[in-house]
Amino acid sequence: MITKRIIPCLDVKDGRVVKGVNFLGLQDVSSPVKLAEYYSKCGADELVFYDITASAEGRALFTDILREVASKVFIPLTVGGGINTVDDFARVLNCGADKVSVNSGAIRNPALIPAAAKRYGSQCVVISADVKRVDGDFRVFAKGGREDTGLEAVSWIKCCVDSGAGEVVLNSIDTDGVKGGFDLEMLEAVCDAVSVPVIASGGAGCIDDFVQLFKALPRVDAGLAASIFHFGEVEIHTLKQVLRDNDITVRL
Amino acid sequence: MITIIDYGVGNLFSLAHSLKSVGAEASVTGDAGEILRADHVILPGVGAFGDAAAKLRATGLDGVVKDAAARGTPIMGICLGMQLLLEKSYEFGEHEGLGLIPGEVRPIAEVIPADYKIPHIGWNALEIVRPHPIFKDVRPGDCVYFVHSFYGANCGPALLATAEYGAHLTAAVGRGNVVGCQFHPEKSGDVGLKILKAFCEWEGTT
């Protein structure tokens, strides 16, 4: 049986992890390499790195860091942030990334996903969508959730999958940061529309939110979160034990 | 010395580093002489079978792999590299494989229920069908990482392990000094590293 995946997400700026990270026993909590090793040891099934760097120098630091992580951590790595061209795919894949997630780049340039899927295969292309309810519609937002693109989210995500994206990360802006649980309604709408793996993001506040996610929507493949893992509010190994106790298949 | 065959398909960064992390000396090369002198050979691969098989033939490395196999060098194919070891593939047409292991490559859609997602992507438990030295440190229930839409069918007695995904999909095959893993040991955490280490220690006999 394929297992449900638990994925911590790390925001990296100029080679360091941003957003406070508060672990016991970790001396350098802003080192992406140390954190990646820590999460890998705790049972994370995959790691996502978002490069939120603005400058070219910072971007070079990011690829150095990625290379170092990929030479020490042997689980799948997904990289997102600043991916606008097929050359950006090449840049991070050559540093050891396994998948590349696109967001604003795919909104600006609809040819990006088919071009990348043709060169690297669909399994390599992840569409990451920031979605928010506007007047009863699910709307795609760009630029880190700041700009309403006017695009209807479900049809846009389906279009991305039809043109070659092999996986969907659905970030609900409505539930993000609220810690009241994943956005089951939005996730269900996307699961109904696509047949590729869907990763839930935004809203996890406690272990039970993951149990509810996989119980209510068995078609969701993975749960992604950032701060609850970084702050040690949810420990991945414990989370997976509880999921298993609830008859949800996980890798332990 | 472990040699990873470089024939212009896929990203060998993680594979080379995972071998280093288990203490193996690994080189990435497309040089026939170096491949034939290697103690162990790994045939990697991602992408489409037809393209990869064509590249392997264009570089003459198909013959080199067969020669290395004939000399008794332990060889491991990974993912598409495993599929290339089989006799033929039906991925977008019909293509000839290396024929080092019986079997053919067919779409998983032919055997899994319609409501299962394709590709088969993620961590799944290895079910060992026939014990093999490369699995000596694998325990029941251990999971490995898969990403594939096609699988090895009709491998007969060469079938070593399967993974349950609405059907028992071929996870590993082996005959003599040649083995293949459909999953990515270099992305399968500690379990994958144990399999790579066991391969590095294997002398090609079963």
Kindly report the CATH number assigned to the domain that includes residue B161. Answer: 3.40.50.880
Contact check, Cβ <8 Å, A3/B124: yes
SS3 assignment, position A60: helix
What pLDDT score does B5 carry?
A: 96
- For residue B146, give how far its alpha carbon lies from the nearest alpha carbon of chain A (Å): 9
What pLDDT score does A118 carry?
A: 84
In degrees and rounded to multiples of 5, residue A236 shows phi and psi of -60, -40
| Signed CA dihedral, A140, A122, A62, A39: sign only | positive
Q: Provide residues of B within 8 Å CB-CB of chain A.
A: 11, 13-14, 17-18, 20-21, 46-48, 117-125, 143, 145, 147, 164-165, 186-189, 192-193
> Is there a domain that residue B159 lies in?
yes
By the CB < 8 Å criterion, does A121 face chain B?
yes
Q: The domain containing residue B179 runs over which residues? A: 2-201
> Residue type at A104?
S
Higher-confidence position of A145 and B110: B110
List for chain B the helix, strand, coil content (%; round to 5). 30, 30, 40
- For residue B123, give how far its alpha carbon lies from the nearest alpha carbon of chain A (Å): 6
- pLDDT tens column, B115-125: 999 889 999 99
Active-site residue among B91, B148, B181, B186? Answer: B186
pTM recorded for the entire structure: 0.93
CA separation for the pair A129, A171 (Å, rounded): 6
Contact check, Cβ <8 Å, B17/A251: no
CA separation for the pair A39, A230 (Å, rounded): 10
ipTM over the 0.85 cut-off: yes
Contact check, Cβ <8 Å, B123/A45: yes
Q: Residue by residue, what is the 3-state secondary structure of B33-89?
A: HHHHHCCEEEECCCCCHHHHHHHHHHCCHHHHHHHHHHCCCCEEEECHHHHHHCCEE
> Is there a domain that residue B79 lies in?
yes
Higher-confidence position of A145 and B168: B168
Nearest to A130 by CA among A215, A62, A50, A206: A50
- pLDDT tens column, A192-224: 999 999 999 999 999 999 999 999 999 999 999
Asked if residue B132 lies in contact with residue B172, where contact means CB atoms within 8 angstroms, the answer is yes
What pLDDT score does A37 carry?
A: 92
CATH topology of domain A5-245: TIM Barrel (3.20.20)
Please, which pLDDT band fits residue B46 given cuts at 50, 70 and 90? confident
CA A245 to chain centre: 25
B111, pLDDT greater than 70: yes
Please, which pLDDT band fits residue B47 given cuts at 50, 70 and 90? confident
> Is there a domain that residue B177 lies in?
yes
> Is there a domain that residue B206 lies in?
no
Mean confidence (pLDDT) of chain B: 95
Mean confidence (pLDDT) of chain A: 91
- pLDDT tens column, A5-42: 999 999 888 888 876 455 545 555 678 898 899 999 99
- pLDDT tens column, A102-130: 999 999 999 999 999 988 888 899 999 99
Vertex B151, ends B188 and B75: CA angle to 5°? 60
What pLDDT score does A27 carry?
A: 54
What pLDDT score does A26 carry?
A: 55
What pLDDT score does A75 carry?
A: 96
- pLDDT tens column, A163-194: 999 999 999 999 998 899 999 999 999 999 99
Is the peptide bond between A8 and the residue preceding it cis, with omega within 30 degrees of 0? no
What pLDDT score does A29 carry?
A: 67
Choose the closest CB to B46 out of A121, A197, A222: A121
Q: How many domains does chain B have?
A: 1
What pLDDT score does A19 carry?
A: 63
